[in-house]
Amino acid sequence: MESASVPVPAKNVQPEGSGAGEKGLKSGAIGFLSGVVIGVASTAPGYSLAGALGLVVAVVGIGVQAPVIMIAAFIPMLLVASSYYWMNRADPDCGTTFSWVTRAMGPSWGWIGGWAIIVADVIVMANLAQIAGLYTFLLFGVNNPSTLAVTVLGIIFIMAMTYICVIGIELNAKTQIGLLAAELTALGLFSVVALVRVYANDAPHGSVKPAASWFNPTDIGSTSAFVSGLLLAIFIYWGWDTTVTVNEEMEEPGEAPGRAAIWATIVLVFTYVIVTVAAIAFGGPARLANDQSGDVLGLLANDVFGSSTLGKIVIIAVLSSAAASCQTTILPTARTALSMARAKAIPAKLGEVDTRYLTPAFATWVMGILSVVWYVGLTIVSTNILGDAIAALGLWIAFYYGLTAFACTIYYRRQVFTSAKNFVFLGLAPVLGGLMLLVILVKSCYDLSKPANSASGDSWFGLGPPLVIGISFILLGAILMVIWRVQGHPEFFGRKTEVADPALVAASPAGGATS
């Protein structure tokens, strides 16, 4: 029951067609399972593991303790996912962070939160397109394709996935199921064959059988090693929140997307831990740590399967991973733009929904084209700058995930101390998740400020290029927001902060009594 002692303020009057379920998207188009699939596929687990695992193992003091690092990195993601669950219950809006932070912390913070999502997604598209293009050539035996050929194929991938996103969420979901099935099957085969050969004493020199101590955090060399490993591992979980950005198109929009996000993170931690154990066991920590290719799975594939032909199973895993993530990265950018436009926070044209496909077609094409321009521009200038831009990506991820977590507690602040469950779910968990990401954000800024930590080793204004890129996008967002504000948009910038209706907590199976 709603507590009589806790008044609920009237909600802001929002522009017509801007509320959850009012934007013209196709409601009930996808179910809970499709939501989980989209969340898992968005993280690109195959590609993420291939690129990050060797770096984690190489941290002095970690080595075979990499599995426990994968578990530790899962914790803040789970805490933030629970924040998404609670905010989605209150406001199942496809703008997610933008809409929720606007309600809890005000329009300026909300605008920057939405901008962070768009920037992060556009930046990563260049890397995903490059991987998709490169691994397509590798699949067909072309080991050294030209930069031009890879770029052209990457552009084709971006535009093809953009088109799929335009013509319907159902086709989008079906495509994701196929790509993720191929990816997880390939990763599963890799792990099973690798472990079987290890236990059969049929693995190369340097292999080691898994032990319980691999999961003991006290065996990590130092606190510094733990933090360094965590910084590398945490961002391979990024992307599960895509499942919440399609909330207005899911069945049970107020409940299913939040649960799907939590389950997506759980599927990811099991996938990451299993593949990590298998790779370390078969290749040995020294071989993984000394890998210079940036592709640990590709390094081991031929040895694990015993032939280059079967080794292409891993290439399929990484390729399908990058292709799937390329597609699902377009989803949140377009839907965030849709939500922002309907709230009159950006130009109205980006808020149009195609009457035939019931998708934000114009915003989707804009995001696809921006991704191509960004990708081609970075490729022309320098591949090192592409690497520095990807390094800067972590700053934006930590920022908008942490911002969402803090917004959850702020929005539900009047319910936090009404029960023990509320204190845990609405207070402790979101704040702890937000603080973890704040620490990671500060540590990342410090590390990226050093030119030696950049892909090029160059110095821009005495700082590392990744930090300069990150700061530049912050300033650009602030400038664009000020320009939009001074042009006069009282419907958005005049909005006041809100608090949660106590009934949201009382009606939830996870919540406690409020009276």
Amino acid code (one letter) for 47: Y
**How does pLDDT run across 295-317, given as a tens digit for each residue?**
888 889 889 998 878 888 888 88
Helix (H, G, I), strand (E, B) or coil at 422: helix
Residue with tokens 């110095």: 459
**Cα separation, 455 vs 468, whole angstroms:** 13
Candidates 28, 52, 50, 78; CA nearest to 405 is 78
DSSP 8-class letter at 23: S
Give the Cα separation of 285 and 290 in Å (integer). Answer: 9
- Residue ranges covered by each domain of the chain: 37-503
pTM over 0.75: yes
pLDDT of residue 242: 92
Structure tokens given for 213: 């101590």
DSSP at 382: -
The answer to whether the beta carbons of residues 168 and 356 sit under 8 Å apart is no
Determine the 3-state secondary structure of 193 from DSSP.
helix
Q: Are 510 and 421 in contact (CB under 8 A)?
A: yes
Taking the CA of residue 63 as centre, how many other CA atoms within 13 Å lie in the half-sphere pointing to its CB?
Answer: 16
What's the pLDDT score for residue 2? 39
Q: In the block, which residue shows the tokens 């406690």?
A: 512
Give per-residue pLDDT as tens, 59-105. Answer: 889 999 999 999 999 999 999 999 999 999 999 999 999 999 999 99
- Name the nearest CA neighbour of 267 among 181, 332, 169: 181
pLDDT for position 508: 53
Q: How far apart are CA 123 and CA 388, in angstroms?
A: 10
Show the low-confidence residues of the chain (pLDDT under 70): 1-13, 383, 455, 506-515
Fold of 37-503: Amino acid/polyamine transporter I (1.20.1740)
